[in-house]
Amino acid sequence: MHSVPRAGFLPAGQRRLAGEDRPLPIGEGQTSSQPRTVAAMLRLLDVHPGQRVLDVGAGSGWTTALLAWLVGPTGSVIGVELAPALAEWGAENLAATGQSWAVLRGADPDRLGAPDDAPFDRILVSAEARTMPQSLVDQIAPGGLMVVPVAGVMHRVERDAAGGAEGGVTTSTHGSYRFVPLR
Ligand SMILES: C[S@@+](CC[C@H](N)C(=O)[O-])C[C@H]1O[C@@H](n2cnc3c(N)ncnc32)[C@H](O)[C@@H]1O
């Protein structure tokens, strides 16, 4: 997280607060998540160099840039963000890190995630779903995993290595968190 400083992903008026361990407003009623929460989610996600990663709710681009740093130039990251103004600003913030193997684009309001680019080795979801989003579970590659807050509880969903799209998944829970809603 020191390698991808949060300050580069905050509005000018919030940058002096970048080091504070709390959510900060990024506009459009959305937030840059608390750093401790981002770190916990990234630890659960267990990202490795070379992996294909999807970042749902990319917002400021910070998590997309952190994931890009973790996968390195042999990997790839797609960040999707529903709020158009945030997607545009987040893409600029991400581009400033020079990690060309990561992109941030507007989310399709009718299709969760990036089904045309699936499957993904790792999926990070930074907004809270009311129920487990099956359409995102379907985008996890065999042997891959997703970290997603569902109804206030952090979930980790792992797809069996042997399974295809129909293969089984194992779900575990990892504490209580509050997030903006997944829309
Ligand atoms: C906690 S905030 C942003 C955190 C972001 N990862 C960052 O580092 O700045 C969650 C974001 O999810 C977005 N969002 C909500 N529902 C979404 C959806 N269905 N697809 C894509 N983004 C969504 C919100 O607009 C919001 O910007």
The Cα–Cα gap between 130 and 60 comes to 23
Q: Ligand 1: which residue has its CA nearest to atom 2?
A: 31
Average pLDDT over the chain, rounded to whole? 96
If one residue of 30, 60, 108 were mutated to test the ligand 1 pocket, choosing by the most ligand atoms within 8 A of its CB, it would be 30
For ligand 1, whether the C-beta of 62 sits within 6 Å is yes
Residue 167: predicted pLDDT: 66
pLDDT tens column, 37-95: 999 999 999 999 999 999 999 999 999 999 999 999 999 999 999 999 999 999 999 99
* Separation between Cα atoms, residue 41 and residue 44, nearest integer Å: 5
Q: Which residues contact 143 (CB under 8 A, 6 or more apart)?
A: 121, 159, 160, 161
The span from the CA of 86 to the CA of 11, in Å, is: 11
Which pLDDT value is given to residue 163? 62
pLDDT at position 34: 95
71 C-alpha to center of ligand 1: Å? Answer: 21
Higher-pLDDT residue of 16, 162: 16
| Of 59, 40, 42, 61, residue with least CA distance to 51 | 42
Average pLDDT over residues 113-135: 97
Residue 154, beta-bridge partner list:
149
pTM of the model: 0.97
Judge if the beta carbon of residue 154 lies within 6 A of ligand 1. no
Using the structure block, give the residue that is written with the tokens 């379907």. 138
Select the more confidently predicted residue: 139 or 165: 139
pLDDT of residue 129: 97
Counted residue by residue, the chain has a size of 183
List Cα–Cα distances, 158 to 45, 124, 155, 174, in angstroms.
10, 12, 10, 14
Specify the range with the lowest mean pLDDT, choosing from 110-119, 149-158, 163-172: 163-172
Query: How many angstroms separate the CA atoms of 64 and 56, rounded?
Result: 9
Residue 107: pLDDT band (50, 70, 90) is very high
pLDDT tier at 162 (50, 70, 90 boundaries)? confident
At which residue do the structure tokens 């995102």 appear?
Answer: 136
What Å distances lie between residue 32 and 131, 140, 149, 171, CA to CA? 23, 25, 15, 26
The answer to whether residues 102 and 124 touch, using CB atoms and an 8 Å cutoff, is no
